[in-house]
A and B are shown apart, each in its own frame.
Chain A
């Protein structure tokens, strides 16, 4: 089936690292995405990773992909209060990058000062 699973809530202290985990179901997915949603706002693309990569780093963000286990993670280094938001993992169904983008239920990240 089409299912992307995420834990619902994560709380960290400012300055710590945050790790948000996601599992997906479509082994033929070629692109996997992380989006951020702040309260009352739309979805902001944070980063994405191709399925032939194991890791992608972009400033404070590190994405790890384990294709065998269909597991994706997003690590935010030196987490700031401005990182408080809902983070969505998403996969594109099928081997093309132009099809259905299916989202997980989102992980609410709370950053305590």
Chain B
């Protein structure tokens, strides 16, 4: 298994631009999580899905952030418009009952 796959690995964008981060969970995993990691706030859970349905989005910081999971093998996290304070590493993770949470390698986002 290739694990959780995230793209891109690095993204540099200008303030005000739209940014889309992508995640492919492990096949068969029915839970998908988006986390953000910063020095100041550590690892924060943004949103998670079960069977493609958003269960808890209370960690999404603002309306500029949105996440979708159109099918079991793909999810996106979109920021529109992006701001410098959104600069962080964004991790996707997936799991299923009886398995641990497996994380992707992350997307390092820099908004200038």
A residues with a Cβ closer than 8 A to B are 33, 35, 41-45, 48, 88, 97-98, 100-106
- CB pair A42 B106 closer than 8 Å: yes
Using CB atoms and an 8 Å cutoff, list the residues of chain B in contact with chain A.
Answer: 31, 33, 42-43, 45, 48, 50, 56, 91, 93, 95, 97-98, 100-106
Main SS class of interface, B: strand
Chain A residue with the shortest CB-CB distance to B100? A45
B106–A101 CB distance below 8 A = no
Q: Across the two chains, which residue of chain A brings its CB closest to B102?
A: A45
CA distance A16 to B33 in the complex (A): 36
Q: How far is the CA of A98 from the CA of B100 in the complex (A)?
A: 9
In the bound complex, what is the Cα–Cα distance between A106 and B98 (angstroms)? 25
Contact (Cβ within 8 A) A98 B104? no
Known contacts A100-B45, A100-B48, A105-B42; decide if A45 and B101 are in contact (CB<8 Å): yes
Question: Is B43 a contact of A88 with CB atoms below 8 Å?
Answer: yes
A29-B39 Cα distance, complex, nearest whole Å: 26
Number of CB contacts from chain A to chain B under 8 A? 39
CA distance A35 to B31 in the complex (A): 19
B52 CB to nearest chain A CB (Å): 15
**A33, A100, A104, A105 — which one has the most chain B CB atoms within 10 A of its CB?**
A100
What A residues does B45 contact at CB under 8 A? 100-102
Partner of B31, one of A41, A98, A106: A98
The CA-CA distance from A42 to B48 in the complex, in Å, is 18
Contact (Cβ within 8 A) B103 A98? no
CB of A62, distance to nearest CB on chain B (Å): 18
Given A33-B101, A42-B104, A105-B42, are A100 and B56 neighbors across the interface (CB < 8 Å)? Answer: yes
